[in-house]
DNA sequence: GCCAAACGATACAGATCGGTATACTTCTTC
DNA sequence: GAAGAAGTATACCGATCTGTATCGTTTGGC
């Protein structure tokens, strides 16, 4: 293993274990044992366990958001359908055998103080996710893109939370149906042109 | 303090600390220090820390569900309005200064294994909450009470999750608006009679 | 008022926690 | 190929974890 890969490997291992057991329950000794790395090495790359957690969350944040963007944008060009496609992306993540809930919500649950750096990192991730929804809602020319984004966001969080407890993927489909129903009743700034200005027809 | 009160006092203290710091981060030593009780005493009432957690969650489960029932049932007699009133109850809990997220979701986040007794206790609480929504949806004569209950439940979880991160109460109001919008489009088994068969008119 | 149960206080066990120190080896790079 | 950075392995530190043992004191029920 090349030297530059060790850091990535440590982050991968840590993320996997944090997801499986949680942050407090995952000890440094377990991480280095699973990564097959000496403790000295870990502490050469990360000053403290908290630093490791923060680096892991940063990595995961970028991965998640990039993956959602890529999934959604190759799925359809219509902004409304893109808003709905975010739930399909959610479904793929929930169907993963390793799914045990949103790692950022878990991080916030284990670090409840709002000034805790881990809490703030989770908050930042959620803000960025919300910003993406707002971007899509704006592109869809909804009259109140901020409110639409907040509603989509709330449905996402609800679907993931229910899936975390029930360990089934149905809540993500349910949330999508609810989103479609709600969006259908929403005002748009300009009525969508019939017959294609870049995307297919708006959601029914 | 009378003997029978010690157990209750320990549960209160433990719940408060679990809510403030989380389950793993709250040590036995802190609990007994805050409760002003000897370690021997705690272990006379609870065999292990896990037993204490389970007892605390059981207590909280009953408290929460009873409080919601009481709040909702004194608020209105109309079943649809009762479904919507559950969000008002949610708002009161979220507005509490001590609110740091749902204790059951946090418990499930820290005990992710589905066979873990703590996870199962959280799952059981969520099932009972869902059953109450179903009871209300049935009373409201919705054509698909199970689906309605699941939708209300998903909105609840979403509102609490967003409130946990943002630490504002607005998501509960937002979820209520979404619920009202969704319920208005739902079929009922028998159209509500105009002019009172026990409840006021159905939601607009 | 006696007795047993429950309490408080403290010390301790054994494990594990995050993190450091040391000594040796293996790369990478000039 | 020398030098220095980064790796491994291991021992260790002090703190903290859950849980137990000991022992003297308080208390409630008969």
pLDDT at site A50 = 98
Q: Does some domain include residue A78?
A: yes
Interatomic distance B52 CA / C4 C1' (Å): 26
* pLDDT tens figures, B7-24: 999 999 999 999 999 999
In a domain, A51, yes or no: no
Q: What is the CATH number of the domain that holds B102?
A: 1.10.357.10
Distance between CA atoms of residues B163 and B93, nearest Å? 11
When divided into structural domains, chain A yields a total of 2
CA-closest candidate to residue A163, choices B39, B150, B16, B74 = B150
- A193 located within any domain: no
Residue B198 confidence (pLDDT): 44
Q: Which residues contact A145 (CB under 8 A, 6 or more apart)?
A: A134, A137, A138
Interface test with B, best of A94, A109, A163 (most B CBs within 10 A): A109
Position B75 in a domain: yes
Residues A105 and A174 occupy one common structural domain? yes
Give mean pLDDT, residues A17-25: 98
pLDDT given for residue B191 in this prediction: 61
Both B81 and B136 in one domain: the answer is: yes
Query: Does residue A25 reach within 7 angstroms of strand D, measured from its CB?
Result: no
Residue A193's pLDDT band (cuts 50, 70, 90): low
Percent of chain B with pLDDT over 70: 92
Domain assignment present for residue B191? The answer is no
Q: What does the DSSP assignment read for B113-168? A: -TTSHHHHHHHHHHHHHHHHHHHHHHHTTBS-HHHHHHHHHHHHHHHHHHHHHH--
Which domain CATH number covers B38?
1.10.10.60
In a domain, A85, yes or no: yes
Instruction: Look at residue B204 and tell me whether its pLDDT is greater than 50.
Output: no
Residue A36 domain-assigned (yes or no):
yes
Residue of B20, B24, B123 with shortest CB distance to A24: B24
For the CA of B97 and the C1' of D17, the distance in angstroms is 30
Query: pLDDT digit string (tens) for B57-108?
Result: 999 999 999 999 999 999 999 999 999 999 999 999 999 999 999 999 999 9
Q: Considering only residues B33 and A2, tell me which one the structure prediction assigns the higher pLDDT.
A: B33
B14 and B57 both lie in a single domain: no
Domain presence at residue B199: no
Which 3 state secondary structure label does DSSP give B65? Answer: helix
- For B91, the domain range is 50-184
Q: Does the pLDDT value for residue A204 go beyond 70?
A: no
């Amino acid at each position: 293993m090349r030297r530059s890969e060790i850091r990535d490997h440590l982050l991968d291992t840590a993320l996997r274990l944090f997801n499986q057991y949680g942050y407090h329950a995952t000890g440094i000794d377990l991480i280095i044992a699973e990564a097959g790395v000496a403790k000295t090495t870990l502490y050469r790359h990360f000053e403290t366990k908290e630093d490791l957690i923060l680096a892991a969350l940063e990595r995961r944040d970028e991965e998640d958001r990039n993956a959602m963007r890529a999934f959604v944008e190759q799925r359809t060009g219509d902004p409304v359908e893109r808003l709905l496609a975010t739930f399909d992306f959610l479904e793929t993540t929930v169907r993963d055998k390793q799914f045990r809930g949103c790692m950022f919500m878990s991080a916030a649950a284990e670090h409840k103080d709002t000034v805790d750096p881990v809490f703030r990192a989770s908050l930042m991730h959620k803000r960025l996710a919300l910003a993406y929804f707002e971007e899509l809602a704006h592109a869809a020319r909804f009259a109140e893109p901020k409110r639409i984004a907040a509603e989509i966001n709330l449905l996402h969080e609800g679907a993931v939370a229910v899936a975390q407890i029930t360990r089934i993927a149905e809540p993500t489909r349910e949330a999508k149906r609810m989103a479609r129903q709600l969006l259908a009743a929403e005002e748009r700034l300009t009525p969508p042109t019939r017959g294609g200005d870049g995307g297919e027809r708006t959601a029914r």
